[in-house]
A and B are shown apart, each in its own frame.
Chain A
Amino acid sequence: MSAGAASAASPARSAPLLTVEGLQMRFGGLLAVDGIGFEVGRGEIFAIIGPNGAGKTTVFNCVSGFYRPSGGSIRLDGSEIAGRPGHRIARAGVVRTFQNIRLFRKMTAVENLLVAQHNQLDTSWLSGLLALPRFRRAEREGLARAAFWLEQVGLRAHANFEAGNLSYGQQRRLEIARCMITRPRLLLLDEPAAGLNPQETRELDQLIRRLRDEHEVSVLLIEHDMSLVMEISDRILVMEYGRPIGAGTPAEVRANPRVIKAYLGEE
């Protein structure tokens, strides 16, 4: 994973992390997503934008295993994940946040981060009951990681607050921390800037970049907030009525007449 590996012409390095091809999702007679394809490279921040009802969240739900796609393929690092159950996909390194935040509201911020490490803290119940040194060490490491991520998202001082009592922006950041603590390869962010004020959006912008730069994670995000998307995305896919209408760098997308039409309407 070091920078030196890039100089050696390893195919794994240049191959995209996530490849989606011909994705199709049908709900009864409604074709919610049709013919969507894109690639997310390693260390890339990739955004999907589009008007309401364009099918962005449906794409997300297919990638994260909430829906079993009706057609097409989704490959993570070359292996097919389409239709696999969500927890298996999560274990393969694809984790997501939700439009409506899904934290454990009655648990504290630090407990939310400890629960997310459930499998990393894999110690038997017996060693827990007897408080064996191995168990205590695992717990201590888990706590240290939780503290690290609370620091990263600026919630150190709120470690023992119940998640439900945090502000909206804090809950968003805690949800991202909960994803990151599982050491994902691909982070899916579903409208992370929704409901945030401009100041909080700027902080989020910096946080997402820092995650990519310092923690080797690729980011796939859905967003309405154009300022955030144009600012941080390497590439963008634009959807309308379940179909792709444009793709490219932020500059290319901004200049694309079909995208302008979809967003601003026609004369």
Chain B
Amino acid sequence: MNEFLPNFLPQLTQQLINGLSLGSIYALIAIGYTMVYGIIGMINFAHGEIYMIGAYVGVVTLTALGAASGTLPLTLVLAGALVAAIVVTAAYGWTVERVAYRPLRGGPRLVPLISAIGMSIFLQNYVQLGQGARDVSVPPLLPGNLFSVEIGGFPVSLSVTRALIIGVTVVLMIALTLYIGRSRMGRACRACSEDMGMARLLGIDTDRVISFTFVLGAALAAVGGVLIGLSIGKINPFIGFVVGVKAFTAAVLGGIGSIPGAMLGGVLLGLTETFASAFLPTEYKDVVAFSLLVLVLLFRPTGLLGKPDIEKV
């Protein structure tokens, strides 16, 4: 940091890339929080664990397929890991709703909250029992940089992994926006989030819509889990907690209940954190990230893209 000035431009560019890739992961997970909240008005506290399970399924599949990587093309290995993680994790998301939320629907709001926290503790220990508590390393499948340039004598690079994270996230975000905006199920989701009783009256199977949001949120979190495994190189059963809290922060930052808000909040939080750890002592990155949340909540309690809900009591 002593060569701050000449270093500034490349540093800025590099941190922008890093921040975008971290923010992409947050955004993928934040969507699960925001969609569930938008429909049932409750926070899914087991969502961080769902992400962790996604990461584990990804690693197991990558390792299994990676052993055969001499014969299998790399893209196939990656695609296989992503699909496996999505399918298995979506099943977990569905189960969380069935076990921790549906039987308690109609009860006081605190009750499903507590059962979801219980679910989160259960899942963490369940993975610990099955996979061990120690770090599991992810086979380095994507070494190297997509490109590396020198700006003012300093290198700026975009690694293949980061490019993959950003690319996959952008594609998924566009697909999700189209799906929610245009499809029959997307319409049903939006209708349920506005007036669940009316949606039911019009013949929409609201239980199915609720299940769908848990499944979709889990699938996106699973993608986030696989990608972070590839990028950091190791995972453990406890990664769900901090990332879960961060993604939740991102959802609140963008305006909980708003899908574009979750995307924006995730990217913003990722950038803030990366820049904070680049220009301040690294330990301060969480302080800065959560200070941002406090500021937004003080001056704009509904989040950046959230609209104040006047009608709901």
Contacts and interface: CB of A to CB of B under 8 A. Distances in A.
Interface of A: 86-87, 90-91, 95, 102, 104-107, 111, 114-116, 118-119, 121, 123, 125, 128-129, 139, 178, 182
B159 to A, nearest CB: 32
B190 A118 contact: no
Nearest to A163: B194
A189 to B, nearest CB: 15
A257 to B, nearest CB: 40
B176 to A, nearest CB: 12
Contacts of A91: 203
Contacts of B199: 115
B201 A115 contact: no
Contact of A123 (B184, B188, B195, B202): B184
Contacts of A106: 190, 194
Contacts of B203: 87, 90-91, 118-119, 182
Interface in B160-207: 183-185, 187-188, 190-191, 194-195, 198-204
Given A115-B199, A119-B203, 11 more contacts: A102-B195, A104-B190, A105-B311, A107-B190, A107-B191, A114-B184, A114-B187, A118-B203, A128-B185, A139-B184, A182-B203
A91 B201 CA distance: 8
A70 to B, nearest CB: 22
A102 B185 contact: no
A178 B195 CA distance: 15
B202 A115 contact: yes
B304 to A, nearest CB: 18
Contacts of A95: 201
Contacts of A116: 202
A160 to B, nearest CB: 13
A90 B202 contact: yes
A118 B204 contact: yes
Contacts of A182: 202-203
10 smallest CB-CB distances across A and B, nearest first, come from A119-B203, A115-B191, A104-B194, A118-B204, A87-B200, A116-B202, A102-B198, A115-B187, A104-B191, A90-B201
Contacts of A128: 183-185
Nearest to B204: A118
Contacts of A119: 203-204
B163 to A, nearest CB: 26
B78 to A, nearest CB: 21
Contacts, number: 56
B201 A121 contact: no
A203 to B, nearest CB: 25
A111 B195 CA distance: 14
A228 B187 CA distance: 35
9 contacts: A107-B194, A111-B187, A111-B190, A115-B199, A115-B204, A118-B188, A119-B204, A128-B185, A182-B202
B234 to A, nearest CB: 34
A92 to B, nearest CB: 11
Contacts of B190: 104, 106-107, 111
A91 B187 CA distance: 19
Most buried by B among A104, A123, A178, A182: A104
Contacts of A178: 202
A91 B203 CA distance: 7
Contacts of B201: 86-87, 90, 95
Given A102-B195, A105-B194, A106-B194, A115 B188 contact: yes
A106 B187 CA distance: 11
Interface in B199-219: 199-204
A107 B187 contact: yes
A103 to B, nearest CB: 8
Nearest to B311: A105
Contacts of B191: 104, 107, 115
A262 B194 CA distance: 40
Most buried by A among B185, B191, B200, B204: B191
Nearest to B183: A128
Nearest to A125: B185
B63 to A, nearest CB: 30
Contacts of B198: 102, 104
A119 B191 CA distance: 14
Contact of B202 (A105, A118, A125): A118
Contacts of B195: 102, 104
Nearest to B307: A106
Nearest to A102: B198
Contacts of A111: 187, 190
Contacts of A114: 184, 187
A82 B190 CA distance: 31
Contacts of A86: 200-201
A81 B131 CA distance: 54
B220 to A, nearest CB: 15
Contacts of B188: 115, 118
A18 to B, nearest CB: 18
A106 B309 CA distance: 12
A128 B200 CA distance: 22
A115 B196 CA distance: 12
A132 to B, nearest CB: 13
Contacts of B200: 86-87
Most buried by B among A118, A123, A129, A139: A118
